[in-house]
Chain A
Amino acid sequence: MSEIFEFLFKYRPILFQEGEVSLLSPWPLPVVIGVAAILGVPALLTYLRARGRSSAMDRGILLALRATTLSIVFLIVMQPGLVLTSVVPQRNFLAVLVDDSRSMTIDDADGTSRAEKAAALADPQSPVMQELAERFTLRYFRFSSSTNRVESPAEMTFNGSATHLGAALSYAHDELQGVPVSGLVVISDGGDNADEPIGDALLPLQAVSLPVFTVGLGDESPGRDVQISRVDVPRTALVGSSLVVNVLVNATGYSGQTVPLVVEDFGRIVTTENITLPADGQPLVAPVSFTLETGGVRELTFRIAGLDNERVVENNVRESLIHVRDRKEKILYFEGEPRWEVKFMRLATRADDNVQLVVLQRTAENKFLRLNVDDGLELLSGFPTTREELFQYRALMLGSIEASFFTHDQLDMIADFVSSRGGTLMMIGGRRALAEGGYKGTPLEDVLPVVLEEPDASSSPTDRLVFLRATPTPAGINHAATRVAGSSEASAARWDSLPPVSTTNGIFDLKPGATALLTGEVVDGPGDDRDRVILASQRYGKGRSVVLAVQDTWVWQMDSSIAAEDMTHETFWRQLLRWLVAETPDAVEASASPESVEAGDPVTVTAQVLDAGFVEVNGASVTARVTSPDGGVVEVPMEWSVENDGEYSAMFTPAQDGIFEVAVEARRDSVVLGATESSVRVAPSGAEYRDPQQRRPLLERVAEDTGGRYYTADGVDELPEDLRFTGGGVTVTEERDLWDMPFLFLLLGGLMMAEWGYRRRRGLV
């Protein structure tokens, strides 16, 4: 298409895009119009007066053809031309950036690697580079996780652990500050894997109209390949927790094939799940369930063995770190009356060494029973009245306790417990819970994930009692809280066989953004037989709210259809309670970024330091104690980052492969505010092998957003001329004739032939 255009219009489309079409005739336009009028008007009148055998329509058509012909002749006489801005030879610099990352070593379908193609293209002796060198002063850069100026492309190693394209563009732009630059040429497969969005790096280039010309290398199809694209491993978990990790798998060319997905904990297989690979382009989310019984930092490896004729096997593996904490998490369960749920929940979790279920139970008016407290002072005055007292717990469960029991400050404090402290609030159904407990219109109504509907004032709890059969929703089938058997199928079957539970709370609708895990079909009871929400949750601020809108899950233990040794009820409550505290932050939290690096890459440790009331502390003394795999310990002081209250950071650079453990401790006036840990995995990165095909859309976007152009390896010959007219720097104006472009003469000839043909046909010759 481009060739046809160039034949007809003499030049390639990009020149028309960059230049302006203008009339180059030295005669002033009014003079030309006057001369045309003097010649044209008599001719027109002659045409109109001529009669002969012609009809009015004939004269009209012939007049139009002749007028058009004369117009084109007139246009040619006026010398149309293309006014272009072209760079001055050898007065401008041009940056050539070559991708030096590992993904360039991937072989394409033609048997050669991208690295070979890049080396050939960037070779100073190549035709393209020689042509560029005639017009520009070339500066070579190589980029991967970092960017360096190189004297010659021969210095490429193609061993970079990551591709940070945006940073490379910024680096080259900065390096060439102060000299006239015509543009940046990027030779890459586009496999950018930086955390920062590329758009941020393009803004400075757009501001100075510096175009980027991208040359895309690599097949645009991944070929036959299986890839573990993502694993959703939580950062922390309690020892013994049953984890359900979603593994995102992409595959091309293996649709329908069943393969084992293996999960290893430091090389020891913890589970193997057979998965059926999806159709091309259809991602598969495979839930994998396993339990980690050993505390400390664990390295999990998710692996699919290489398949027959697979293009890239390095992306079949994904590693992730998880902190398995062997400690007790405190949950406060406040129950407004004696209920069997208390007994059976405690029974279900009594063997759990990692959950401390503290119970405060109102057994009579102003009389409270405290269970599982640390000492005689805990909850001595009843429900907490201060943030420090309440925020020591990681989750709060409210049973059948009416809203009016609490002061307004306490209700606000509970809402803050979720939104500011990051704790989890779970409200359990009961005659004094949810809307029936008067929570509509209170600060907690906003927190809850369900819509509270005011109950009919004339009905009693018994009138509203319905029995529900619990069914997991699609989100609940493989959820860590509701997967009660080894596989999703077995779990669904188990839920189906459990006896109905009852509720007097009419919960029908979720709030926007909330997720239902269990719903209930009404199997017995009066009135509205719409399905109910049984278990639902939503994020609220930093924390999470949950509603379990039934009142007697203990029947899943006691019902006569349940064998005494059955563990469904225990499993449900154990998992549910662990899920409640799974994401609750400590007062001092630390994270390392990135969590996985190569030796020599810097790591930033960031800590959030709060006091017991979860208020940010700026004047703390915070230290990161970094333990390397060989046992060496380095203490790094962390500085308060002034931008954010309570945020401290420090950097270190791991020098060897392995797992670096980072223990952070925060003190204020010698009082320990808190301590936490994080970790960094130092190993050769596999990031470069993910999505191994060329990312052409990214390269095209970079070119389009900056006024440059994208080229394939085959079309790169056009680059030098394009650069001549589209590049910035020192330029001159250049005029190119258009009057002699073939299109005009073809059109002229065509019009004359049309007129002659019409006259012949109508007998007017």
Chain B
Amino acid sequence: MLVAWFGRVGSAEDPAPRDASRFLTPGHPSLPSTAVQDPPPEWHEFYFTRAAYSSGGFGRRRASWATDYPKADRQFLTVLRRLTNLDAFESENAVLLTNPRLRDYPFLYALEVGYMALSPAEIQGLREYLMAGGFLVIDDFWGTREWLQFEYQMSLVFPERTIVDLDMEHPVFNTFYEIEEILQVPAYGRFQWGTTSEQDGYVPYVKGIFDDEGRLMVLINWNTDMGDAWEWAEQPNYPLQFSTFAYQMGVNMIVYAMSH
């Protein structure tokens, strides 16, 4: 049903998009090829690495991985470097899921995954990355429809694993900052219209996928858009409580990923 509804999304029997070339490829006009293909110019302990994945849909959805890119990444890194003593590369670092160099960056950020449509090579690359010890943070996807698409994609990566809710006792909420409540962080544009939600995503969730020994491999922020808060934090009309939460949660996720 879902597959039929989306049309371009791979099925369980044939997880590959029918025509991979129509989706994201190196050299796609929306991809800054140097960022994707060249390693960063200098060595640092940490790179805020963005997953460049194939996606379906039309218009900007065809490169949904690049939403808020690179401004959100750079602004977040600026604040991250100021708040912590982490030796972080100051610029964005987008890497294809099929690039072997992905394994050099144990932290990975992906957003707008409601339009994610992974190729078999990407599925394999992401699975091996996570099983080896990589950590994936998901952000900025909304409502039931995008959830189902993301859930389906993750079922291709990990057919045997389920997505579970994280309670507020989980260390990711207190590794650096004490976070007592999950806020719904609105997209900049949506808040101007007087709402924090999109589609039918009214309640924000933090969920996860664990390995057999209980290691959190994938941290899923659903019905929230921290990337927009990082990107538009400097706007006077963007509420401080949301950007503060987004930065705090971002720092927590990274410190957690580097210690757990």
Contact = CB atoms under 8 A, between A and B. Distances in A.
Contacts of A369: 175-176, 255, 259
A361 interface: yes
A362 interface: yes
A559 interface: yes
A338 B46 contact: yes
B257 interface: yes
A558 interface: yes
A339 B215 CA distance: 17
Nearest to B107: A340
A607 B102 CA distance: 55
B215 A338 contact: no
A350 interface: yes
A337 B86 contact: yes
A23 to B, nearest CB: 94
A223 to B, nearest CB: 57
Contact of B85 (A362, A371, A555, A557): A362
B128 interface: yes
B45 interface: yes
A431 B43 CA distance: 12
Nearest to B258: A338
B100 interface: yes
Contacts of A362: 85
Given A347-B133, A462-B42, A364 B259 contact: no
A343 B258 contact: yes
B123 to A, nearest CB: 14
A343 B259 contact: yes
Q: Which of B46, B134, B259 has the most CB of A within 10 A?
A: B259
A337 B83 CA distance: 12
Interface string A348-384: 0011000000010111110101010000000000000
A342 interface: yes
From DSSP, what is the main secondary structure of chain B's interface residues? loop
A564 B255 contact: no
Contacts of B258: 338-340, 342-343
Interface string A311-343: 000000000000000000000000011111011
Given A339-B45, A365-B85, A371 B133 contact: no
Contacts of A346: 259-260
A359 B132 contact: no
A651 to B, nearest CB: 50
B213 interface: yes
A558 B104 contact: yes
A198 B176 CA distance: 66
Interface string B40-51: 001101100000
B211 to A, nearest CB: 10
A572 interface: no
Residue with the highest number of chain A CB atoms closer than 10 Å, among B42, B46, B258: B258
A339 B88 CA distance: 10
Contact of A554 (B87, B133, B259): B133
A347 B215 contact: yes
B161 interface: no
Contacts of B175: 369
Contacts of B104: 555, 558-559
A338 B255 contact: yes
Contacts of B85: 336-338, 362-365
Contact of A462 (B43, B134, B255): B43
A557 B106 CA distance: 10
A558 B45 contact: no
B259 A371 contact: yes
A343 B133 contact: yes
Contacts of B254: 338
A436 to B, nearest CB: 13
B3 to A, nearest CB: 28
Nearest to B215: A347
A340 B106 contact: yes
B164 interface: no
A557 B133 contact: yes
Nearest to A561: B100
A564 B132 CA distance: 4
Interface in A551-582: 554-555, 557-560, 562, 564-565
Interface in A88-144: none
Contacts of A351: 213
A565 B131 CA distance: 8
A502 B260 contact: no
Given A351-B213, A559-B103, A338 B134 contact: no
B195 interface: no
Nearest to A364: B84
B101 interface: yes
B90 to A, nearest CB: 13
A465 interface: yes
Contacts of A559: 103-104
Interface string B96-134: 000011111010000000000000000000001001111
A614 interface: no
B136 to A, nearest CB: 14
Given A363-B255, A564-B131, A554 B106 contact: yes
Interface of B: 42-43, 45-46, 83-87, 100-104, 106, 128, 131-134, 175-176, 213, 215, 254-255, 257-260
Given A338-B46, A369-B175, A560-B101, 12 more contacts: A336-B85, A337-B45, A338-B258, A339-B45, A342-B259, A343-B259, A346-B259, A363-B85, A364-B176, A371-B260, A462-B42, A555-B104
15 contacts: A338-B254, A340-B106, A340-B258, A343-B259, A343-B260, A346-B260, A350-B213, A363-B86, A465-B43, A554-B133, A557-B133, A558-B104, A560-B101, A560-B103, A565-B131
